[in-house]
Amino acid sequence: MNKQQITITGGAGFIGSNLAHRLLAEGHAVTVFDNLSRSGEQNLAWLRTQHGEAALKVVCGELKDEVAVANACEGADRIYHLAGQVAVTTSVTNPRQDFESNALGTFNVLEAARTVANNPIVLYASTNKVYGGMEDVRIEESDTRYSYADFPYGIPETQLLDFHSPYGCSKGAGDQYVRDYHRIYGLRTVVARQSCIYGYRQFGVEDQGWVAWFMIAALKQRTIKIYGNGKQVRDALFIEDLIDAYAALVNHIDTAAGQIYNVGGGPENTMSIWAEFGPRLEQLLGRPIPIEHHAWRPGDQPVYISDIRKAERDLGWRPRISVEEGIRRLFEWIRTNEDLFKHL
């Protein structure tokens, strides 16, 4: 592929920095738009060490600032919109900030794509939270997990939307705006409804990035808070597989434009957040991990597993890295780089 000008909102974050690393290695010019929260400076320093500064441009700004967003996207051939407010808990305590970051921010990105960019591909990182609590979906409970009674392949993209939290509302609004900008304006937009993503350079905290956070907290010998009974199940996707999915979406944009895809680990890469993950983590750590239980959080799904067959059918994409292998890789990376986590 020819060298392109690419903008990544949230490019200094966990997913964004891994994506920028891949794109810079491919020879593209990358503009990172970020407010440099959540360890962004560390990730930018790493990108500069790996790639220098010739092809990497950094614009510090907020998504609610339409002028700043437009400046960052001007002339872009591709826009990966990854930035936003990321936690359900934060959206409950500060819904206005959540709206401005996610709903208004996504609108600003789309307007920039429509007016100042170079007929770009726009990839939007959405979330499984747009499906809400799915109270109408029958759930079964076993010793260590919840499971679906009627969805052996997971939840498909045709599942009715029921946002169920300010975060779900703001991300869902962006989700639908992205799709409609293809239908109304012909923009080459695509929605990736992402499940639990984990991997290198994930500076997880208690309310977001739970796989990494449990590892960080365990290595720091902190007591881990488990909300609910720990049997909640998620499908988990390693960062390298996610970046491969992004590449597949771009490479098949003639098919993918205007579409929505679940992008997650699928039914083959699932675990309950503590009843199953806890013993694995204790085995890696070599000692018991203290925990304390708290009440369930609003909108927390007992189980969420992505049906990823549409992405496989349209894009030829499937996860390659198993949960077992991905957990081992991330644990070793965090343990090897514990100095990066002193501030957490």
The residue-averaged pLDDT of 200-216 equals 89
pLDDT score recorded for residue 90: 85
- Residue 293 banded pLDDT, cuts 50, 70, 90: very high
pLDDT at 299 over 70: no
Number of domains in the chain: 1
User: 154-166: b or e for each residue (b if 16 or more CB lie within 10 Å)?
Assistant: bbebebeeebbbb
pLDDT at 2 over 90: no
User: pLDDT digit string (tens) for 98-137?
Assistant: 999 999 999 999 999 999 999 999 999 999 989 988 889 9
Catalytic residue among 80, 167, 177, 200: 167
Residues facing 294 on adjacent strands: 227
167 is catalytic: yes
Q: Are 29 and 35 in contact (CB under 8 A)?
A: no
Helix, coil or strand: residue 225: strand
CATH number, domain with residue 232 = 3.40.50.720
The residue-averaged pLDDT of 194-212 equals 90
Supply the DSSP string of 226-252, one letter for each residue.
EESSS--EEEEEEHHHHHHHHHHHHHT
Q: Shortest CA distance to 131 belongs to which of 165, 174, 90? A: 165
Residue range of the domain that includes 124: 5-341
Which helix (H) or strand (E) segment holds residue 25: the answer is helix 14-25
How far is Cα 228 from Cα 117, in angstroms, rounded to an integer?
45
Q: Are 233 and 9 in contact (CB under 8 A)?
A: no
Helix, coil or strand: residue 109: helix
CA angle 216, 221, 222 (to 5 degrees): 80
pLDDT score recorded for residue 301: 82
Which helix (H) or strand (E) segment holds residue 304: the answer is strand 303-304
How far is Cα 96 from Cα 42, in angstroms, rounded to an integer?
28
Backbone angles phi, psi at 201, to 5 degrees: 65, 25
Q: Are 170 and 158 in contact (CB under 8 A)?
A: no
First-to-last C-alpha distance (Å) of the chain? 39
pLDDT at 344 over 80: no
CA dist 180 → 135, 187, 189 (Å): 27, 9, 9
How far is Cα 343 from Cα 112, in angstroms, rounded to an integer?
35
pLDDT at 145 over 70: yes
pLDDT score recorded for residue 15: 96
Share of the chain above pLDDT 70, in %: 99
- Mean pLDDT across the chain, nearest whole number? 94
